[in-house]
């Protein structure tokens, strides 16, 4: 009886091994990167441009006093005036957001020791402007109301779908061109497309950054000349072609 049990167990193991052996070629065929015959793999990038239709402005109010309460109080008052000024120029309150608030102790360092001399309070707000033509006027009005720092002005496109699609089409076209060049150089001809994958999309925004201001004169007095330029959108793809 014992011998018969061992025989059945051995037969079962043999069947399992045969099933696994038959499954290996199937799994190998399905594995990424496994192709029949020579292939060429290319990566290509396409670029499209778009005209910005909105701007994002980061404004800051910075106050420094020896007394923290005084620094905070003046900062609060100036920030409220800046927000009111921006709203008075047609910007909805939902498009004005506090983006950063910090209090920095100020020290005087002498002879290896430090002495607390006061406090700097920084309150930053971000404003989304749907009408780009108003950016210069808003900057001037905000500075006159008490903003003494413009961290950045960035120009954006509210919907980049069209530009992304155009960039993808260009990337795919460039990929096929590259594959044909490689095939010809290898004295082969280009076969069918085996696979294609999108790598990434990137949007490059023109901006005016890190502008420190003390008054409207820092902006040249009057409306600030603003040139939004163009946004550049890039798309990258990886393509695999058969060679024959």
Residue 243 lies in a domain: no
- Is there a domain that residue 78 lies in? yes
213 lies in which domain range? 54-158+208-223
Say if 142 falls within a structural domain: yes
CATH classification at residue 125:
3.30.70.2970
Q: Within a 13 Å sphere around the CA of 178, how many CA atoms are in the beta-carbon half? A: 17
Asked if the structure places residue 65 within a domain, the reply is: yes
At residue 225, the pLDDT reads 63
- Looking at residue 203, its pLDDT comes to 76
Number of domains in the chain: 1
Residue 89 lies in a domain: yes
Residue with tokens 């099933």: 19
Q: Would you tell me how many other CB atoms lie within 10 Å of the CB of residue 167?
A: 26
Residue 138 maps to a domain: yes
Phi first, then psi: give them for residue 198, nearest 5 degrees.
Answer: -85, 130
- Does residue 40 lie within any of the structural domains? no
The reported pTM is: 0.66
Residue 100 placed within a domain: yes
Give the pair of three-digit tokens for residue 62.
Answer: 């910075």
Ranges under pLDDT 70 in the chain: 1-34, 205-226
3-state helix, strand, coil split of the chain in percent (to 5) is: 40, 40, 20
């Amino acid at each position: 009886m014992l011998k018969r049990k061992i025989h059945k167990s051995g037969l079962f193991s043999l069947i399992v091994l045969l099933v696994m052996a038959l499954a290996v070629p199937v799994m190998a065929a399905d594995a990424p990167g496994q192709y029949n015959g020579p292939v060429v793999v290319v990566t290509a990038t396409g670029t499209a441009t778009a005209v910005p239709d909105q701007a994002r402005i980061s404004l800051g109010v910075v106050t420094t006093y020896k007394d923290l309460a005084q620094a905070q109080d003046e900062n609060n008052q100036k920030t409220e005036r800046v927000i009111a000024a921006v709203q008075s120029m047609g910007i909805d309150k939902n498009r004005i957001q506090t983006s950063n608030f910090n209090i920095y102790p100020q020290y005087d360092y002498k002879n290896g020791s430090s002495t607390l001399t006061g406090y700097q309070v920084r309150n930053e707000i971000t404003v989304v402007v749907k009408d780009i033509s108003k950016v210069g006027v808003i900057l001037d009005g905000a500075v006159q109301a008490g903003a003494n720092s413009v961290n950045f002005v960035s120009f954006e496109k509210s919907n980049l779908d069209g530009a992304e699609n155009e960039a993808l089409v260009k990337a795919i076209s460039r990929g096929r061109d590259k594959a044909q060049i490689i095939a010809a150089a290898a004295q082969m001809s280009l076969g069918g497309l085996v696979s294609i994958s999108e790598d990434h999309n990137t949007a490059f925004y023109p901006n005016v950054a890190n502008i420190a201001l003390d008054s409207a004169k820092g902006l040249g007095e009057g409306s600030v000349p603003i040139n939004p330029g163009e946004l550049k959108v890039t798309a990258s793809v990886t393509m695999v072609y058969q060679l024959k």
